[in-house]
Amino acid sequence: MSLNNVVTLKGWSWRKADDGEWTRCAHDKPTTEIFTDLLDAKKIPHPFLDRNERVVQWVGLEDWEYSTEFEYKSQQGNSTQDLVFEGLDTIATVYLNDQEILYSDNMFHIHRINVNGKLKEGRNSLRIVFKSAFKHGKALEEKYGEMNAFNGDHSRVYVRKAQYHYGWDWGPVLMTCGPYKEVRLESYAKAISDVFVDPVLNDDLSKATVNVNVTALGEAAGGVIDVTLESPSGKKYAGSCSFEDGKAQIEVDSPELWNVRGHGAQNRYNVSVQLKDKSGSVLDQWKQLVGIRKVELVQEKLQDSEGTSFYFRVNNIPVYSAGSDWIPAHNFLTALTKEDYLKWIQLAVDSNQVMIRVWGGGIYEPDLFYEACDEYGIMIWQDFMFGCGQYPYYKEFKESVIREAEDQVRRLRNFCCMTVYAGNNEDYQVAEQSGLEWNPSDTNGDYTNTNFPARTAYETDLPAAVEKLSPQVPYHPGSPWGGKDTTDPTVGDIHQWNVWHGSQEKYQFWSWLGGRFISEFGMLACPSRKTVEQFVTDPIQRYPQSRVMESHCKADGFERRLALYVMENITVRSMNLDDWIYATQLIQSECIAYAYRCWRREWRGDGKRYIGGALVWQINDCYPVSSWAIVDFYGREKLAYYALKRESAPLGLGIYRCDVEKKGQPLEGAQPGPPHDLRDKKYVFDVWGVNSSLKDVEGTLEVRLFDVETGKLIQELDRKSVTLEANKTTEYLEDLAVDENTCIQARVFDSNNNLLARASDFPQPLKHSLFLNRKVKAVANTDSIEITTNGPVKGVVISLDNEDIKLSDNGVDVFPGDPYIIQAKGITQSDKISIRYYEQDAA
């Protein structure tokens, strides 16, 4: 909040460069971009629909101009005028009253340009010429040589633009441009330009030293800076410093800490900074909510296992990081609203996520994204914006990157959700797969003369920026990275893509495919029928293999891979659109559930935190598409979303079944395939409990065994008193024999017989089991739906005509004698419920 004169520019007009005729934007927003403006003017078909992406490619090859006018009136005392550009996408030359004032070639730079003497009293004009970023990158590629990259045109690595605009294996090629962030005119004599609130906690968290560093503009001889902190409980603290010093320090006893959700309150202090002249008059002020917390990345030796741990400790509490990877939520960033961001963060909160990784091929998200994560207690893993590429690092590029890092870390450093910065996404993997000069033991720090020059950024310049500007937040050179081969599961984080990509392992092998921290893994699935109907406008094209459906799946080889996992695991009785959507979403749900369940089990307490977290690729989409997202572009949850929610609940149970001989391991060497594997197999299962809360929970464990085919109860094990130990896994049953055709349900109840958690396990693959004569009912009650069955059923899906009614769960397994209650606020007995489940049409 500034007391100085600030004018936010808006009222933009646009045109093709040097085309003569300007078109006024259909809106009056301060931010805009060419694709949305062309759409508003009905100059192009919507690129998200049908196959329209291919007919709008010309847009990214053109140069475009934006212009606006604004009033300026000089005011006594405001001796300085600056134009502030929060972000220009991307190759931009700016003219004020036809005089060039700025050239920018990095959309992540923040510019403050002094325009004293260039402004006119009254009306002023601002014009921005945006050159084609694609052509700009191709020219640099011609000059410096082609580099390697996994997605998009390889020239993208030369352009400091959101890399996903070049197309990815889940997104279209839509090379937009424009003033995508605010442009402001600021007039002042003295002003606050930056405040860094840097709390440092002592070891036992009983005291915090809050360092407040203030950067001010202008001159204020004899001026003073006053700082106040107000705690959530209303306790106030104060400090001050001179204008010239700009550093205040406040001691806080018994600080009220910001905590990760589930581990305490998300307390934040109201911090106010006032810049005063020597008479005490307030010249400028700044306010923000800031949390006090301590965050550590723990990499220490483990008991009974090689390598080191990789987990985060917040306020001295180890945190198992269940969460997801985030890509930009729209190809056209200016189309996103505050409400859109809040809905996405709420989806993460509602599914028991505690970490979101902001992926390195997108953008540094706007402040309101991080504000929401602060509010809800979500940790942020923040990649720097390098993705899947062999980036250059010549002098000008290096200088641009260092400035980018400093601009963005400076902007983000007051958000308490910031948990770790990572240098890049998969650039070390590109180096390995391309045979670049990459020797982990070489710690020289300057690799600019190698064919992996950007390693200098990841290991020298970016960590220096973080250490300089946000020293309390850990830095990690890349994702994945562990200082060894990027696939080494004993150190650092890994991206586990040997399910779907790579060797295309069975997802039932997830327990053997883990690492110390799995920051990417996933399974592709179609979006919902209603979403398909929104982007496929011709009903004739609404079948799984249509041209339009294929154009909205960007994953190379998706047909073969989806068919592999579907045919390998479940019975396919028809291939119409609804059945295919259900099949792919069921497979994705099963795959994600297996992973979260197996990996969370390895959170075993002190010295045995063998896996510190799992982040599914990905939570969201940037346009309507079949992808790895667990929630589609329009915000409709896939079944995997609910699987993540169930497996990441604060209290949970896990079941793992395996072949006694193989113990669930993948076959090694030239072993007989399933048709010739004639062993007399014997199976055993384990049951364990998980508890992410900080208190032990007592309960009673019940385990029931059912015959899959008949649906009849075979055995109920003796009920057993158990403890779900705080913040760890507790093993309950191990190596219990089970028949091949038996499904298992485990439940745990509190002392009042209230259900605390449930889990289920079915024989794998599901396609070999018969589910005969099932009768499933779903009944609407006030604000809930009750599902009952006469035999075990897999993947029960509830659909409602009224999409405003949000379901607390879906795609669930249901057992006899255990009514499954799904919360559905607003539902009444008159609402129509549609239901389907696996093998619904079996004889």
**Which of residues 637 and 78 earns the better pLDDT score?**
637
Q: What is the model's pLDDT at position 668?
A: 54
Mean pLDDT, range 344-371, rounded to an integer: 98
Residue 217: phi and psi, rounded to 5, are -110, 150
Confidence of residue 634 (pLDDT cuts 50, 70, 90): very high
CA dihedral 106, 111, 116, 121 (to 10 degrees): 90
Mean pLDDT over the full length of the chain: 95
Spell 18-55 as b/e; 16+ CB within 10 A means b: eeeeebebeeeebbbbbbbbbbeeeebeebbbbebbee
The residue type of 837 is Y
Residue-wise pLDDT for 704-715, tens only, equals 999 999 999 999
Pairing of strands 111-114, 80-85: antiparallel
Q: Is 74 exposed, middle or buried (0-12, 13-18, 19+ CB in 10 A)?
A: exposed
**Contact between residue 231 and residue 267 where contact means Cβ atoms under 8 Å apart:** yes
Confidence of residue 829 (pLDDT cuts 50, 70, 90): confident
Q: Which CATH number fits domain 771-843: 2.60.40.10, 1.10.3720.10, 2.40.37.10, 3.40.50.170?
A: 2.60.40.10
Separation CA 485–CA 482 (nearest Å): 7
3-state secondary structure of 258: strand
Residue of 274, 304, 277, 276 whose CA lies nearest to 287: 274
DSSP secondary structure of 290-331: E----EEEE--EETTEEEE--EEEETTEEE-EEEEEE--S-S
Residue-wise pLDDT for 431-444, tens only, equals 999 999 989 999 99
What is 5-187's CATH number?
A: 2.60.120.260
DSSP state of 460: I
**Which of residues 632 and 76 earns the better pLDDT score?**
632
Residue-wise pLDDT for 136-147, tens only, equals 999 999 999 999
Residue of 457, 391, 456 whose CA lies nearest to 147: 391
Matching residue, tokens 């299962």: 685
Mean pLDDT, range 626-633, rounded to an integer: 98
Question: Which positions are annotated as active-site residues?
Answer: 426
Mean pLDDT is lowest, of 84-93, 643-652, 676-685, for 676-685
Beta strand spans in 547-612 (E): none
Residue-wise pLDDT for 274-309, tens only, equals 999 888 889 999 999 999 999 999 999 999 999 999
Mean pLDDT, range 102-126, rounded to an integer: 97
Q: In the chain, what are the domain boundaries?
A: 5-187, 190-290, 650-669+677-767, 771-843
Residue-wise pLDDT for 484-539, tens only, equals 999 999 999 999 999 999 999 999 999 999 999 999 999 999 999 999 999 999 99
**Is the model's pLDDT at 765 over the cut of 60?**
yes
**Contact between residue 527 and residue 517 where contact means Cβ atoms under 8 Å apart:** no
CATH topology for 650-669+677-767 is Immunoglobulin-like (2.60.40)
Q: Percentage helix, strand, coil, to 5, in the chain? A: 20, 35, 45
**Is the model's pLDDT at 547 over the cut of 80?**
yes
Separation CA 829–CA 418 (nearest Å): 45
Separation CA 666–CA 510 (nearest Å): 10
**Contact between residue 561 and residue 504 where contact means Cβ atoms under 8 Å apart:** yes
Mean pLDDT, range 228-251, rounded to an integer: 95
Give the predicted TM-score (pTM) of the model.
0.96
Give one word for 714, left, alpha or beta, with left for phi > 0 and alpha for psi -120 to 50.
alpha
Residue 661 neighbours by CB under 8 Å, 6+ apart: 679, 681, 682
Residue-wise pLDDT for 145-204, tens only, equals 999 999 999 999 999 999 999 999 999 999 999 999 999 999 998 999 999 999 999 999
Residue-wise pLDDT for 723-737, tens only, equals 999 999 999 999 999
**Contact between residue 604 and residue 612 where contact means Cβ atoms under 8 Å apart:** no
Residue of 140, 173, 131, 151 whose CA lies nearest to 392: 140
Sheet holding 793-800, edge to edge: 812-814, 793-800, 833-836
What is 190-290's CATH number?
A: 2.60.40.10
Q: What is the model's pLDDT at position 480?
A: 98
**Same CATH topology for 190-290 and 650-669+677-767?**
yes
- Dig out the tokens for 179 from the structure: 């003033």
Residue of 819, 813, 811, 826 whose CA lies nearest to 779: 819
Confidence of residue 75 (pLDDT cuts 50, 70, 90): confident
